[in-house]
Amino acid sequence: MNKFERMKHEKDGLDVYPDLLRAARDGWETLDADDTARLKWYGLYTHNTKDGHFMLRVKVVQGVLSGDQVDALASITEDFGRGILDCTTRQCVQIHWITLDHVPEILRRLDACGLTVKGACGDITRNVVGCTLAGIGHDEVVDGRATAEALHEYFLDNRLYSNLPRKYKISVTGCREDCARGLINDVSLSGAIHEDGTRGFNLRIGGGLSATPRFARSLDVFLEPDEVPEVVAAATRIFRDSEENRQRRARARIKFLVDAMTPEGFRAAVVAEVGRELRPAAPMQPDLRGHDHIGVTPQTDGEHSAVGFVVPVGRLRAEQLRELGRLAREYGTGELRLTHQQNVLIPHVANARVAGLLTEPINEQLPSRPDLFVRGLQTCTGKEFCGLAKVHTKERAREIASFLDTHVRPNGHGEDLRVHFAGCSSSCAQQQIADVGIEGVLKKVDGEFVEAMDIRIGGRLGPEPKFGDVVVRKVPHYDLDETLLRIFTLYEESHREGEDFRAFAARTGPEWWTERLEAVAGADVAADA
């Protein structure tokens, strides 16, 4: 039994709450290493400084926040988090600089407005994500939000599923766009209509990124909404009870179990667990791309629109969040929605008032009509706070976006061009599915280790998904901007008429990029010599 399994066997992660309260009273140093690790089940991660500061992650089911919840998060960030809050790729928020003595008051405020931290981290069901436009989108097949809420309620505080082999991520989307990035989730439910007209979800299992990425595999199963909790629970039990997954931490995700059993074998196990045959998947499939909904998107009723704002590098100041809440009340219903691309939407804006919202000063800081690279940039926390990260990401990402938007002339690149920047191989920034993915590594230069980056090209979701290929390795941080500029210059010089970057990368092998990028790097080295 490895140390993680021993820790969970000795005490369930959800049982650490009394120890959390004791440490809030007596000091974080009174926690042993195991209980410090168990704090993840309550959304708390230690900062890499190991000095008593923590990151607190708060669940936001499908990214939907009420006005009161926005106010609570803003006040917590102001009072206890040095005024900054990060948006995540799972529609959650993360507040840094938390100390345990403030946690009881923070939890009281969150509980009062209906937010929770339980299961935000740890080997447990994480935040259930979904379509940013659930319930109001023009292309909705089925109500994904209701199903996501049902799954959230089923798994929340459920000790039958609080000790899983590894983290467990569920995506539910009822729209044809499948903007919840189901292909890279452990469990993916995508809206579909069966041949007889029944509306429901097709089920995929076993997606995930990190060092061994997989796209979720179809189980050839169609579920009506009221079947979903039962069947997902059955799949979760199969994962929970797999001793093979618990042997090695690096191979504990459900994607490895699907590899071993095959999708057909996993389907048979689910059918046996449920105790009845399940309907085959519906022929209608979504496009699986994951659109960002930045700018103005008409809602189904024809009278309102959702307005999406880019949050540069996913980081908000408390006063910006408070201002978004004020604008949501003035122009909409008070509701905000968080996206998978670390951005924010204000829904329910009367069409006649959209123009007014677009002229509000917040558009200068959080643009609803952003430049190309600001729009598609996605980052993880990075070395600033995370102990796994090799490099700093947030401020460097700001520099990258500014540099590229200054030096690259948008010319058919595609408005949803994605550049993702991750501090390590854990893939919190989802660099493998980006058009250009940047991954932090270290490189020895003149006897000293410096921050460097591997660069991937050609990642994409959609009907023919692909993980990006590494085309150049260990680019020193001081050469990163020019290397990225060279990538987009090569596109400018070589693409066909009307061919966007994604299509160009799809037909251009990694060798083509490597040859040209390494040749430039070699020439630079020779010139410096």
Q: Per-residue pLDDT tens for 446-480?
A: 999 999 999 999 999 988 899 999 999 999 999 99
pLDDT of residue 525: 42
Tokens of 322: 């408070």
| CATH architecture of structural domain 134-274 | 2-Layer Sandwich (3.30)
Q: What is the CATH number of domain 374-528?
A: 3.30.413.10
pLDDT tens digit string along 96-119? Answer: 999 999 999 999 999 999 999 999
pLDDT of residue 286: 61
Q: How buried is residue 42: exposed, middle or buried, by Cβ count under 10 Å (0-12/13-18/19+)? A: buried
**Number of alpha carbons in the 13 Å side-chain half-sphere of residue 328:** 27
Q: Which residue has the higher pLDDT, 519 or 351?
A: 351
pLDDT of residue 511: 97
Separation CA 70–CA 66 (nearest Å): 6
pLDDT of residue 99: 98
Q: What is the CATH number of domain 295-370?
A: 3.30.70.3340
pLDDT at 297 over 50: yes
pLDDT of residue 6: 96
pLDDT at 499 over 60: yes
Q: Where are the alpha helices (DSSP H) in 139-203?
A: 144-155
pLDDT at 314 over 60: yes
Separation CA 153–CA 133 (nearest Å): 21
Least confident of 60-69, 71-80, 286-295, 392-401: 286-295
Q: Which residue has the higher pLDDT, 23 or 286?
A: 23
pLDDT of residue 323: 98
pLDDT of residue 527: 41
| CATH architecture of structural domain 3-112 | Alpha-Beta Complex (3.90)
Cβ atoms of 436 and 373 within 8 Å: the answer is no
pLDDT of residue 281: 96
pLDDT of residue 449: 95
User: Looking at residues 186-207, what average pLDDT do you find?
Assistant: 95
Q: How confident is the model at residue 287 (pLDDT cuts 50, 70, 90)?
A: low
Q: Which residue has the higher pLDDT, 464 or 238?
A: 238
pLDDT at 290 over 70: no
Which residues are within 8 A (CB) of 162 and not within 5 positions of it... i.e. 6 or more apart? 12, 13, 14, 41, 119, 124
pLDDT of residue 53: 98
pLDDT of residue 230: 98
CB under 8 Å, gap of 24 or more: what pairs does 230-234 form? 230/274, 231/203, 231/270, 231/274, 231/278, 232/151, 232/170, 232/187, 232/189, 233/154, 233/161, 234/270, 234/273, 234/274
Least confident of 132-141, 293-302, 425-434, 518-527: 518-527
Cα 161–Cα 164–Cα 167 angle in degrees, nearest 5: 110
pLDDT at 90 over 50: yes
10 to each of 5, 42, 161, 237, 485, how far by Cα in Å? Answer: 9, 17, 16, 20, 52
CATH 3.30.413.10 maps onto the chain at 134-274, 374-528
Q: What backbone phi and psi angles, to 5 degrees, belong to 304?
A: -130, 165
pLDDT of residue 415: 78
Tokens of 481: 């901007």
pLDDT at 528 over 50: no
CATH 3.30.70.3340 maps onto the chain at 295-370
pLDDT at 134 over 50: yes
Cα 6–Cα 47–Cα 81 angle in degrees, nearest 5: 125
pLDDT at 529 over 50: no
pLDDT at 137 over 90: no
pLDDT of residue 285: 63
Q: How confident is the model at residue 307 (pLDDT cuts 50, 70, 90)?
A: very high
User: Percent of the chain, pLDDT > 70?
Assistant: 97
Least confident of 154-158, 440-444, 447-451, 520-524: 520-524
Q: How confident is the model at residue 520 (pLDDT cuts 50, 70, 90)?
A: low
pLDDT at 147 over 60: yes
Separation CA 192–CA 228 (nearest Å): 13
Tokens of 237: 């039990």
User: Looking at residues 241-269, what average pLDDT do you find?
Assistant: 96
Given the structure tokens 């307005």, which residue do they identify? 307
pLDDT at 1 over 90: no
Q: Which residue has the higher pLDDT, 416 or 83?
A: 83
User: Percent of the chain, pLDDT > 90?
Assistant: 91
User: What is the C-alpha radius of gyration for the chain, rounded to an integer number of angstroms?
Assistant: 23
In one letter, which amino acid is 184?
I
In one letter, which amino acid is 283?
P
Q: How buried is residue 177: exposed, middle or buried, by Cβ count under 10 Å (0-12/13-18/19+)? A: buried
What's the whole-number average pLDDT of the chain?
Answer: 94
Separation CA 105–CA 107 (nearest Å): 5
CATH 3.90.480.20 maps onto the chain at 3-112
Q: What backbone phi and psi angles, to 5 degrees, belong to 2?
A: -75, 170
Reduced DSSP (H G I as helix, E B as strand, rest coil) percent helix, strand, coil of the chain, to 5: 40, 20, 35
